[in-house]
């Protein structure tokens, strides 16, 4: 027992020590900082020059990386903004799945976005209002989502980039028992994947 008692504090200290050492972030690989010391001493001015040069190179590299990162972020932000701008719901008449004339420009904008961003993939969700049975509405949501997909395919987007899914009446956008709410809920949503 005594042995165990004495060992534990050491073990704890050891573990803590190791733990702290491990937690330290690995330093950025400096370009051989020890090298000047082991070589024959160079004139102080030359050492300073070399150090300054290295520091400048480092700074330039960091700046370039930062700029690239920012450019990437800006590109992504632009992509997300473009997506948010064009991925607007389209709505349907009661128990219908035809694309309404009023929604065709929205689908055109989505097709243009898909052309501008060839890597984009968008899931089409079909939804229904609450009037109708659970199962029939799930089927109706499939049909609505497919109608939107088919229309986008005619505008030049590949089917594979437009997977669709139905949520029937299970995920209404608004709560309400009036024509306005029902129209909002009879919709296709377009979700960037």
Partner 1 sequence: MMRWMLGMLLGVFTTLLAQVPNQEVVLSASAGSRVGVAFPAPQVAGLDAGLVNRELRDVVVSDLDDAGPFSVITKSLPASTEPPAYPAWVQTGTDWLLVCRVSAQAASEMEVLLRVVDVKSGKPIFNKRYTGKAAVMRRVAHTIADDLTARLTGEKGVATSRIVFVRQLAPGVKEIFQVDRDGANLHQITHHRSLSLSPTIAADGRIAYVTYKGGAPEIWGQVKAGGPDVKIYPRGDSPAGHCFAPAWSPDGRRLALVQGDRRGNSDIVVFDLGSGRVRRLTDSNCINTEPSWNPAGTQIAFTSDREGSPQVYLMEDDGSNVRRLTREGNYNASPAWSPNGSMIAYVSRFEGKFDLFVYKLGEGKSYQITTGVASSESPSWSSDERQIVFSSGSLGGMRIYTTDLSGNTVRKLTEFAGCQSPKWTGTR
| Comparison of 47 and 93: residue with beta carbon closer to partner 1 | 93
Calpha distance 172→125 (Å, rounded): 12
What Å distances lie between residue 176 and 54, 138, 150, 183, CA to CA?
67, 20, 30, 10
Q: Where are the beta strands (DSSP E) in 40-180?
A: 90-91, 122-127, 164-168
Select the residue interacting with partner 1 from 88, 109, 167, 192 (CB under 8 A).
Answer: 167
* Least distance to partner 1, CB of residue 165, Å: 6
Told to check if 157 binds partner 1 by CB under 8 A, we report no
Binding positions for partner 1, 79-138, rule CB under 8 A: 95, 97, 130-136, 138
Of 83, 92, 151, 172, the one binding partner 1 (CB under 8 A) is 172
Residue 123: CB minimum distance to partner 1, A? 9
Alpha helices per DSSP H over 87-133: 104-116
Work out whether the CA dihedral 117, 118, 122, 124 comes out positive or negative. positive
Q: Name the phi and psi angles at 117, rounded to 5.
A: -125, 85
Q: Which of 48, 58, 73, 170 binds partner 1 (CB under 8 A)?
A: 170
Residues at the site binding partner 1, with contacts judged by CB under 8 A: 95, 97, 130-136, 138-140, 142-147, 149-150, 164-167, 170-172, 175-177
């Amino acid at each position: 027992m005594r042995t165990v008692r004495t060992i534990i504090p050491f073990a704890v200290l050891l573990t803590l020590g190791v733990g702290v050492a491990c937690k330290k972030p690995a330093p950025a690989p400096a370009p051989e900082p020890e090298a000047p010391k082991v070589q024959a001493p160079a004139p102080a001015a030359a050492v300073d020059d070399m150090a300054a040069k290295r520091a400048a190179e480092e700074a330039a590299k960091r700046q370039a990386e930062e700029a690239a990162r920012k450019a990437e972020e800006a590109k992504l932000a632009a992509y997300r903004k473009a997506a948010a701008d064009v991925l607007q719901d389209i709505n349907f008449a009661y128990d219908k799945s035809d694309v309404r004339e009023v929604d065709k420009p929205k689908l055109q904008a989505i097709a243009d976005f898909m052309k501008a961003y060839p890597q984009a993939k968008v899931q089409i969700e079909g939804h229904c209002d609450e009037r109708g049975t659970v199962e029939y509405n799930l089927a109706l949501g499939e049909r609505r989502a497919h109608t939107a997909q088919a229309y986008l395919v005619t505008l030049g987007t590949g089917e594979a980039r437009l997977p669709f899914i139905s949520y029937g009446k299970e995920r209404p956008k608004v709560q309400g028992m009036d024509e306005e709410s029902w129209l909002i809920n009879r919709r296709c949503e377009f979700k960037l994947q």
